[in-house]
Amino acid sequence: MPPTVVRLPGVVLTDHVIDVPLDHDDPGGERIQVLAREAVAAGREKDDLPWLLYLQGGPGFGAARPQGTDGWLGRALKDYRVLLLDQRGTGRSTPLNRQTLAALGGPDAQAGYLARFRADSIVRDAEFIRRKLLGPSGGWSLLGQSFGGFCTLTYLSYAPQHLRECFVTGGLPGLASTAEHVYRAAYPRVALKNERHYARYPQDRETAARIAAHLREHDVALPDGRRLTVEAFQSLGIMLGSGSGSHQLHWLLEGAWVRGARGPELADGFLAEVQYKLGYAGNPLYAVLHEAIYAQRSVSGEPTAWAAQRVRAEFPEFDPNADQLYFTGEMIYPWMFDSDPVLKPLRQAAHLLAERIDWPDLYDPKRLAANRVPVYAAVYHDDMYVDRQDSLATADAVPGVRTWVTNEWEHDALRVSQGAVLDRLIGMSRGEI
């Protein structure tokens, strides 16, 4: 069946649906599909352009769906033929969710299957696709956003020979960071984001505390029937890591209350928006594998064991019963698998993954120390999600990494900067900056 071709204003998209091994060490075994969507500027379809593979943030998110040549894609198309990868389990690739996992059997089988969806497998998929589309000796550049940057360091660890250059935005990982280390560094950053939010919108301090008190005293259900607890409400703090997130949180809180027959109630519109913000129906892999993306057997022989929940106890300001409410950030907690209807069926498998101790290594420090591929990385000084110090330590440990440290942008800058961030990195690669 020929690839599907879609023409949008300024861009031509060609969908390549490629069968890859579930386990690349068993190429004759089960296979899954991965969507690789080729994007090229209209009128340049036959030009001999260099390829740029885009590795999406996550884990568990499909690549962005273009609507034209806006944003970073428009900038990339000036110089590259871009490949937008729906990483395995996401988007139009073979889906991975409660429905598909139920067909695999019990929790042990599900956990074993899920373990094959980390950065190491994503990189091997990319190499499989590179050989198919570009030939055995073909090379390409990488653009890794957030978790995509983590995948880029994995790529540099295990298959750098066909990489021409790498661009990383908000995604230089700590090469030896455990999940505990990540969250121990993250909670203070999230606390600072809370204080900055309350300084910008002082009225929200009282509003958030009032909502939390109401949730302690009343059983409040979201539209899908699950209970909205204080801890779940705190999880809205994930919004604070984006450039406009503080403003969005404020406007959400502003519309929280209505006066009903029995007095003040949380408005249906507010609850519907909270459900949307907190739901994992579109990206269950994000919740299931979030701590596993930090697990490496040579770094720690201990399981991740719900590190975000354990480390949280070291930061009493995040206690859900505190007088002042602090929102949390990019943390996944075990109670989410007891409340979210799309995560409940994955609860036992998630617990098995949290106790696993034999995770393969994602990074090869020795090979990275001999790196010869140029890497141009945007490091966001105030990044709530990725620790700046870890990123800079990695840049120091890997030759060829050049960083641009900025507080002009937040973690979502690649998406919202209208191509400015990627343009800066491309300029660095050309010696213009």
Catalytic residues: 146, 358, 411
Res 1: pLDDT: 67
Look up residue 235 and give its two tokens.
């999880």
* 127-135 long-range Cβ contacts below 8 angstroms, 24+ apart: 127/159, 127/162, 128/18, 128/20, 128/21, 128/24, 129/16, 129/18, 129/20, 129/34, 129/36, 129/83, 129/85, 130/53, 130/162, 132/16, 132/18, 133/16, 133/36, 133/38, 133/51, 133/83, 134/51
Domain locations along the chain: 4-175+363-429, 179-355
Euclidean distance between CA atoms 232 and 277, whole angstroms: 10
Taking only the tens of pLDDT, the chain with its 433 residues reads: 678 999 999 999 999 999 999 999 999 999 999 999 999 999 999 999 999 999 999 999 999 899 989 899 999 999 999 999 999 999 999 999 999 999 999 999 999 999 999 999 999 999 999 999 999 999 999 999 999 999 999 999 999 999 999 999 999 999 999 999 999 999 999 999 999 999 999 999 999 999 999 999 999 999 999 999 999 999 999 999 999 999 999 999 999 999 988 889 999 999 999 999 999 999 999 999 999 999 999 999 999 999 999 999 999 999 999 989 999 999 999 999 999 999 999 999 999 999 999 999 999 999 999 999 999 999 999 999 999 999 999 999 999 999 999 999 999 999 999 999 999 999 999 999 8
The H-or-E segment that residue 108 falls in is helix 107-114
Euclidean distance between CA atoms 382 and 192, whole angstroms: 10
Characterize the bridge pairing of strands 263-266 and 375-380: unpaired
Res 142: pLDDT: 98
Which CATH architecture best describes the domain 4-175+363-429? Answer: 3-Layer(aba) Sandwich (3.40)
Res 39: pLDDT: 98
Look up residue 198 and give its two tokens.
């309350």
Res 331: pLDDT: 97
